[in-house]
C-alpha cells in the first residue's frame, strides 16, 4: 500500500476564480464583513438593536395584516340574521 494515498482534492486551485465564481466569492466576503459589523454594533448597542428589531417586526406585521385584509374583499355580509 502507498503511504501517499489521499482522497479528494485538498489543495487550492492554481488559477484564481473568474466569472460567476469570482463574483460569488466576492459577494460572500462582503456579506461576511457586513454581518460581522452588524453583530459588533448590536453587541455594543443592545437596546437600540432590540428596538429596531421590534419596530421592524411590528411594521412587517402591520403591512402583512393590511395586505391580507385588502385581499379578502369588501363584499361581505355582516348581517347574520338574514340568510
Rounded CA separation 81/35 (Å): 57
Residue 8 in domain: no
Inform me whether the pLDDT recorded for 83 exceeds 60.
no
CA distances from 39 to 2, 34, 45 (A): 48, 9, 10
Q: Are 50 and 57 in contact (CB under 8 A)?
A: no
Model pTM?
Answer: 0.48
Tell me the per-residue pLDDT of 27-70, one tens digit each, with 9 for 90 and over.
Answer: 999 999 999 999 999 899 999 999 999 999 999 999 999 888 77
Residue 82 falls inside a structural domain: no
Domain membership flag for residue 9: no
Distance in angstroms (rounded) separating the CA atoms of residues 41 and 43: 5
Confidence of residue 75 (pLDDT cuts 50, 70, 90): low
Give residue 62's domain range.
20-70
What's the structural domain count of the chain?
Answer: 1
Amino acid at each position: 500500500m502507498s503511504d501517499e494515498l489521499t482522497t479528494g482534492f485538498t489543495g487550492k486551485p492554481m488559477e484564481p476564480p473568474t466569472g460567476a465564481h469570482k463574483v460569488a466569492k466576492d459577494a460572500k466576503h462582503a456579506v461576511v464583513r457586513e454581518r460581522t459589523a452588524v453583530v459588533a454594533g448590536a453587541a455594543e448597542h443592545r437596546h437600540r438593536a432590540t428596538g429596531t428589531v421590534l419596530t421592524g417586526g411590528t411594521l412587517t406585521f402591520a403591512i402583512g395584516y393590511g395586505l391580507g385584509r385588502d385581499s379578502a374583499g369588501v363584499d361581505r355580509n355582516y348581517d347574520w340574521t338574514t340568510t
